């Protein structure tokens, strides 16, 4: 049996990982819907759904799919066109919620990808709600000019929150264990910092090293 699932479609940054595993052997393959499919006209026309289907067929080929193989594919919308393509190819499949062994593998692949984009580890690994939109938005605003290019700018939520008014002021941070969201390093207590403030779904305050804003 072969399982197919995705990870990252709900993340503000990056594309979407599509993963497949042959359950009996543990052979695992994956590919990404590129970020560009979530920006501009490619997103408006939902071309990412067609790309998802193309990737699914490619991954089945890599796993040496045979006509007698059962394919389990995630029941989410990301595979709407993929299911149509599987029907056209006469692939024996069923839609369902995918669990192990694939779920952890594909989620870990996307986490590693997000880290490679520069996202801080605590935003990915050490939180109950990894890759939460408004948490990642804070990371984006900490280095807005460079990090906007990593975002799914076609999203309605980006249209709403992606160009907010941000105030920057000098300050002294007397609290401990704060991380500069631009460089990812700890800010020493009683350091002079830049304080960024904006309002999204709530009031947000971000502290940066002075040197990180030069």
What is the rounded average pLDDT of the residues 2-29? 96
Lowest mean pLDDT among 104-113, 122-131, 158-167, 203-212: 122-131
Q: Do 196 and 101 share a structural domain?
A: no
Q: Do 201 and 111 share a structural domain?
A: no
141-200 tens-digit pLDDT:
999 999 999 999 999 999 999 999 999 999 999 988 899 999 999 999 999 999 999 999
Q: Which of 116, 147, 166 is the last residue of a domain?
A: 116
Q: Do 141 and 106 share a structural domain?
A: no
Q: Do 85 and 177 share a structural domain?
A: no
- What CATH number should be reported for the domain holding residue 154? 3.30.1740
The pTM of this model reads 0.91
Q: Do 94 and 135 share a structural domain?
A: no
Give the range of the structural domain holding residue 193, as residue numbers without chain letter.
122-213
Q: Which of 116, 145, 170 is the last residue of a domain?
A: 116
Q: Do 199 and 96 share a structural domain?
A: no
Please check whether residue 26 is in contact with residue 17, taking contact to mean a CB–CB distance below 8 angstroms: no
Q: Do 108 and 74 share a structural domain?
A: yes
Q: Do 131 and 98 share a structural domain?
A: no
169-185 tens-digit pLDDT:
999 999 888 999 999 99
The whole-number pLDDT of residue 40 equals 85
Strand pairing report for 16-22 and 27-33 = antiparallel
Q: Which of 87, 116, 145 is the last residue of a domain?
A: 116
The whole-number pLDDT of residue 130 equals 58
* Domains: count for the chain: 2
Q: Do 6 and 89 share a structural domain?
A: yes
Q: Do 54 and 157 share a structural domain?
A: no
What is the rounded average pLDDT of the residues 119-143? 82
Q: Do 136 and 94 share a structural domain?
A: no
- What CATH number should be reported for the domain holding residue 38? 3.30.420
Q: Do 144 and 104 share a structural domain?
A: no
């Amino acid at each position: 049996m072969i399982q197919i699932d995705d990870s990252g479609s709900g993340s503000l940054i990056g594309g979407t990982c599509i993963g497949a595993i042959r359950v009996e052997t543990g052979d695992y393959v994956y590919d990404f819907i590129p970020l560009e499919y979530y920006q501009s006209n490619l997103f408006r026309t939902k071309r990412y759904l067609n790309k998802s289907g193309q990737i699914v067929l490619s991954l089945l080929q890599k796993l040496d799919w045979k006509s007698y193989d059962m394919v389990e594919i995630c029941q989410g919308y990301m595979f709407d066109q993929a299911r149509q393509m599987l029907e056209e190819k006469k692939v024996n499949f069923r839609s369902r919620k995918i669990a192990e062994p694939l779920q952890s593998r594909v989620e870990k692949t996307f986490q590693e990808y997000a880290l490679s984009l520069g996202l801080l580890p605590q935003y990915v690994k050490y939180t109950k709600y990894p890759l939460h939109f408004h948490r990642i938005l804070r990371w984006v605003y900490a280095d807005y000019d460079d990090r906007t290019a990593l975002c799914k700018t076609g999203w309605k939520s980006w249209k709403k929150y992606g160009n907010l008014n941000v105030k920057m002021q000098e300050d002294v941070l007397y609290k401990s264990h704060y991380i500069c969201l631009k460089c990812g390093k700890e800010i020493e207590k009683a350091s002079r910092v830049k304080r960024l403030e904006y309002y999204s779904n709530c009031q947000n305050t971000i502290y940066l090293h002075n040197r990180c804003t030069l």
